[in-house]
Amino acid sequence: MKQQRLLFRLFNFAVFIFLEIAALQMVTHNAALQRVWVARGAHLFMGKVWGASQSIQSYFSLSGANRELSEENFRLLQELEQARERLRNARLDSLDTLYRPGFSMVAAEVVKVSRNKQHNYLILNRGYEDGIQEKSGIITPNGVVGIVDAVSEHHAFAFSFQNSDISISARLGSEGGSGLLVWDGIRSNGAILKEIPLQFRFQKGDTVYTSGHSLLFPPDIPLGIAGDAKVVNGATNEIAVRLFQDFSALRYVSVVHNNAFDEIEGFEQ
């Protein structure tokens, strides 16, 4: 009986909806204003219904979307790593502009560096497998960095220029006198150019280059700017130099080796 009453109510409701739709049809057929109003209402209703169905559909497809996102994330991470590798190689390749005739050159990355001691050192990520030899110079576009002292299969140990035992043959200006450039032991970009004969004239601000008298470094690599000078023992000038190289930002370097090193050293022996 209850079920019959419920069915009857449902039937009444269906008839009610039918009659209301019929009345609305009459209204919309005979009045433009009401037609637009009903159409707008219908569109809004459909929009809500579609929006709700889309939301439900989206909810149930979340696990699939998460899986796709996870895969996409993994792929993007791989691409990022590849791009980083390419960038790293490109930076190393850019060091080829330091190429000097008579010198072989290998690009390397500094993997460890000490800066707070009097005898600082560097460790590079290239070894004899990569063509690195002992007694090679280490340079960057901003100057000299150090000298390779020992080489393993994949790494090289080098004395940093910021080492009180290291001196480099340097020249003041393009045709000035040569002397020895050493770290001043105080500042990270401070050096002293020693033993410049008094007869060579120079000015504050002149550029200091590698002289090329050393077997380790090619000539004419700009090292720094000449500063204040003083006469030592009445015989030579000692000039303060501000280095171009910032040792705190050291990462990519070139290891240069004189191809005639053994031959010339053979003469000396």
Q: Residue 215 in contact with residue 134, Cβ under 8 Å?
A: no
Q: Residue 211 in contact with residue 257, Cβ under 8 Å?
A: no
Please identify, among the stretches 33-41, 82-90, 222-230, 253-261, the one whose residues bind other proteins according to the rule CB under 8 A.
33-41
- Integer Cα distance of 138 and 21 in angstroms: 89
Helix axes 32-60, 62-94, angle to 10 degrees: 70
DSSP secondary structure string, 67-129? HHHHHHHHHHHHHHHHHHHHHHHHHHHHGGGG--TTEEEEEEEEEEE--SSSEEEEEES--GG
Chain position carrying tokens 């370097």: 253
Q: Determine, following the binding rule CB under 8 A, whether residue 30 of this chain makes contact with other proteins.
A: yes
**CB 77 → other proteins: shortest distance, Å?**
53
Q: Determine, following the binding rule CB under 8 A, whether residue 11 of this chain makes contact with other proteins.
A: yes
Q: Determine, following the binding rule CB under 8 A, whether residue 16 of this chain makes contact with other proteins.
A: yes
50 HSE (CA, 13 A, CB side) = 6
Please identify, among the stretches 27-35, 79-87, 210-218, 253-261, the one whose residues bind other proteins according to the rule CB under 8 A.
27-35
| For other proteins, the closer CB: 19 or 264 | 19
Q: Determine, following the binding rule CB under 8 A, whether residue 37 of this chain makes contact with other proteins.
A: yes
Rounded to the nearest angstrom, the gap between the alpha carbon of residue 233 and the centroid of all alpha carbons in its chain is 47
Q: Determine, following the binding rule CB under 8 A, whether residue 99 of this chain makes contact with other proteins.
A: no
Considering only 6, 7, 10, 26, the residue that binds other proteins (CB under 8 A) is 26
Considering only 25, 61, 82, 152, the residue that binds other proteins (CB under 8 A) is 25
Q: Determine, following the binding rule CB under 8 A, whether residue 5 of this chain makes contact with other proteins.
A: no
Please identify, among the stretches 28-36, 57-65, 118-126, 256-264, the one whose residues bind other proteins according to the rule CB under 8 A.
28-36
Q: Determine, following the binding rule CB under 8 A, whether residue 40 of this chain makes contact with other proteins.
A: yes
Tell me the β-bridge partners of 168: 181
Applying CB under 8 A, the residues found at the interface with other proteins are 11-13, 15-16, 19-20, 22-27, 29-31, 33-34, 36-37, 40
